[in-house]
Structure 1
Amino acid sequence: MADNAILDTDSDDEVPPGWEERVTLSGKVYYANHESKSTQWTHPTTGKRKTIKGELPYGWERKVGEDGLVFYVDHVNQKTTLTDPRLAFAEVVKGDNTAFRQKFDGNSTALEVLQGRDLTGQYAIVTGANSGIGYETARSIAFHGAKVIMACRNLNSAEACKKAIMTERPDSQVEVMHLDLSSLASVKDFADKYKDNKWPLHLLILNAAVFGIQHTWTEDHLEMTFQVNHLSHFYLTKLLWDILMKSAPARIIVVSSESHRGTDLSMANISEEKLSPNAENYSDLKAYNLSKLCNILFSMHLNRLLSPYRVTSLSLHPGNIMYSGLQRNWWLYRLLFLLARPFTKSMQQGAATTVYCATSHDLEDIGGLYFNNCCRCPPSTAAEDENLAKALWDISEQMLSKRIGRPI
């Protein structure tokens, strides 16, 4: 049998020499003193009581030997240990007089956030999953057992990404489905085909976005940035939320940006013309900033509507000026992002906050918030305006109804 050493924990929680951290089958952590041959529930140094929750990490199995000895098998890495792997993620029992400590930050990666999680049985849609943060999000949750549907416009690129994931981890479950967010008809077609598969839906990750494009009318006569970044995601969510409610608990994750702070949208000026301007009133940067504010307002109001059904929604900022493909539409943006690349997050780090919001046990039944660097972050004043969120919701429904010819 392999090394049965205790898994490393945070430094201030390490047990003194002669002590061992153990866990009962019910998940309560206790401490054994090998010198005195005694045990206790509290940490010998900090006095904390701890517990472990949830399933074993992906690929792990608990077994009992003929002698009654409990041991754990890591089928992914072909290792065996006497130590419950969940000890590395033990939580302080609520009610203990201890300060909250942030578990992850801007340097954390998506795969680090997912350590200890088994997402087997979870179905996840990731829009824009064929590049950048979307790809790393899809890859990371697929590696931990989720069935991932890559919802992408470019099917050739998406199939290549699926192949890369399957090559790296052959037992991953990944599907590619066509979704063009510049077309409301494509959004409807995607939702209909998803429903035809009779799949549940536990994670809806609205990641896709465009940035820095010239003024363009879509086939639905909507300004491209607004439709792709907000309205089509709004429509997709409306089409799928009956499945989300049936699959509850479920989460909707909306990838926004700190750029949401750079817009003047308010109750005084919100209108269809403001949200989807003509060429004379258009600025690519302002359009992007406005769409990112829409993301947060949408997520906040969506959470108010669906949280009673155990479907929660969170929004987030993934990272600053990451070289993710968003900048591909203009050479100046490509140059700016390229120069900033050594000082910004990697794509794995950029996906960390998305994955944290989508999978963290700490956020169960919590929604309507905005996150940055895997931590709750106050958004702009406008982004917290519930009246503005409701106004945006109503106008979004009106704009959709006008184009699809029926109430939405």
Structure 2
Amino acid sequence: MDVYDTDSEDELPAGWEERVTLEGRVYYANHSLRKTQWEHPLSGKKKYVAGELPYGWERKVAEDGQVYFIDHINSKTTYTDPRLAFAIEEKDGRFREIKQRFDAGTSALQVVKGRDLTDNYVIVTGANSGIGFETARTLALHGAHVVLACRNTTKGWAAVKAIKKERPQAELELMCLDLCRLSTVKEFADQYREKHWPIHILILNAGVFSLPHTLTDDGYEATFQTNHLGHYYLVLCLLGILKESESPRIVTVSAESHRFTNLNDKTISEEQLSPPPEYYRAILAYNQSKMCNVLFALECHRRFAKFGITSNVLHPGNVISTNITRHWWLWKVIFTMVRPFAKSKVRKGSKIRNAAEGLEILAYKIP
């Protein structure tokens, strides 16, 4: 009996290779013994792949009948079918789906892998850094036309250039959006309407954390207006376009900290959401704004589902180390200390990792 040095029954022993026929059946080739078989050499499983190839991939057949795959985006050729990660297992003569598992080590690109988002128009607020940037980048790399809605256009252009450097043909548009000024929110919506573009995905991602007490030009506390009120008004201004678009969805980025507030239908008031300086607590203001995000997303679903609009709200992961901690040195220290034990947006090669749960909503709901 052969013993293989492997921790997974799906890992292939040395000398074996996993391939796919033109019909999508998975087979295993042993180069040492020069033989092939349908069953996995360790688990005995039979598999099958289905569905379209990922965005940018093409299947070819060589003169000798060998099937190979071209990744036009990265200019690479391989004999490995990129759909193998999502293979279907044959059991009792039938095929059942093997669900792909996501965890803290899963990149956004891995979650959305296999999705062709061509002709999808997406707006991402706060797309110049952090989770917003990686969300915009990932969707753009899969063919979506992405609008980066940013307050700081200088940083916004830097984000556009970074994505364009990776994919020159990426369809990107930078538009100014300052959630702390409701007048610019309306201007953004008016300018977008003039482009006659649909909205397939509206991602309400922009946010601030641990701000000192500050009033916006509209007279509201800045954390409350940036994280919630500005997004609320943005949806209202874009509602007509959303109703006219095909299968539109609103994705709101909230946080687990929404649980740590006494905000409810009996205590909610403008004074509580936008308190005077003497009653202001930065962390409480953030938690309350995240609670408002949750309530808003649920209400959007209740009111707009009849128009075909889907509304989702998500928690992106605990204490993800992004530039959101820039307003107080102590938060920077805390986030740095817990970084080894929490989700991170940084991965080898300076590429950014997003929280898998957030993009999983997109991956499984985008047609």
Under TM normalisation by the shorter chain, which class is it?
A: 0.7 to 0.9
Structure 1 pair 331/33, CA: closer, same or farther in 2 (3 Å)?
closer
Structure 1 pair 350/60, CA: closer, same or farther in 2 (3 Å)?
closer
Tell me whether 1:191 sits opposite 2:189 in the alignment. Answer: yes
- Deviation of 1:164 after TM superposition, in Å, equals 1.7
TM-score, normalised with respect to structure 2: 0.81
Q: Distance in 2 between matches of 1:309 and 1:39?
A: 51
- Deviation of 1:236 after TM superposition, in Å, equals 1.0
Contact 1:51 1:93 in 2 (8 A): no
Tell me whether 1:354 sits opposite 2:336 in the alignment. Answer: no
Q: Which moved more, 1:243-252 or 1:200-209?
A: 243-252
Q: Equivalent residue for 1:321?
A: 319
Q: Equivalent residue for 1:6?
A: none
Q: Distance in 2 between matches of 1:62 and 1:252?
A: 35
Q: 2:72 aligns with which of 65, 68, 75?
A: 75
Q: Equivalent residue for 1:170?
A: 168
Q: Equivalent residue for 2:154?
A: 156
Structure 1 pair 183/45, CA: closer, same or farther in 2 (3 Å)?
same
Q: Equivalent residue for 1:397?
A: none
- Deviation of 1:255 after TM superposition, in Å, equals 1.0
Give secondary structure in 2 for the equivalent of 1:350: coil
CA shift digits 1:89-134 (9 cap, x unpaired): 2346899797975610122111221322322222211111111111
Q: Distance in 2 between matches of 1:248 and 1:50?
A: 32
Contact 1:203 1:252 in 2 (8 A): yes
Tell me whether 1:269 sits opposite 2:267 in the alignment. Answer: yes
CA shift digits 1:14-47 (9 cap, x unpaired): 689999653556xx64658999x99989999566
Tell me whether 1:333 sits opposite 2:323 in the alignment. Answer: no
Within 5 A, what are the aligned runs for 1:81-230? 81=78, 84-91=81-88, 101=99, 103-230=101-228
CA shift digits 1:253-296 (9 cap, x unpaired): 11111111110112221223322223233211111001111111
Name structure 1 gaps, 5 residues minimum.
1-9, 366-408
Q: Equivalent residue for 2:246?
A: 248
Contact 2:214 2:221 in 1 (8 A): yes
Name structure 2 gaps, 5 residues minimum.
1-6, 346-351
Contact 2:55 2:143 in 1 (8 A): yes
Q: Distance in 1 between matches of 2:49 and 2:41?
A: 11
Q: Equivalent residue for 2:281?
A: 283
Tell me whether 1:293 sits opposite 2:285 in the alignment. Answer: no
Contact 1:223 1:276 in 2 (8 A): yes
Q: Distance in 2 between matches of 1:238 and 1:92?
A: 45
Q: Equivalent residue for 1:380?
A: none
Q: What is the identity, as a one-letter code, of the residue corresponding to 1:62?
A: R
Q: What is the identity, as a one-letter code, of the residue corresponding to 1:56?
A: L
Give secondary structure in 1 for the equivalent of 2:310: strand
CA shift digits 1:31-85 (9 cap, x unpaired): 58999x99989999566775523x4212112356789876532212333445543
How many aligned residue pairs are there?
350
Contact 1:31 1:44 in 2 (8 A): no
Structure 1 pair 90/242, CA: closer, same or farther in 2 (3 Å)?
farther
Contact 1:15 1:45 in 2 (8 A): no
Percent identity reads: 48
Contact 2:21 2:67 in 1 (8 A): no
- Deviation of 1:243 after TM superposition, in Å, equals 2.4
Give secondary structure in 2 for the equivalent of 1:194: helix
Contact 2:86 2:99 in 1 (8 A): no
Contact 1:120 1:147 in 2 (8 A): yes
Q: Which moved more, 1:327-336 or 1:152-161?
A: 327-336
Q: Equivalent residue for 1:390?
A: none
CA RMSD of aligned residues (A): 3.5
- Deviation of 1:356 after TM superposition, in Å, equals 2.2
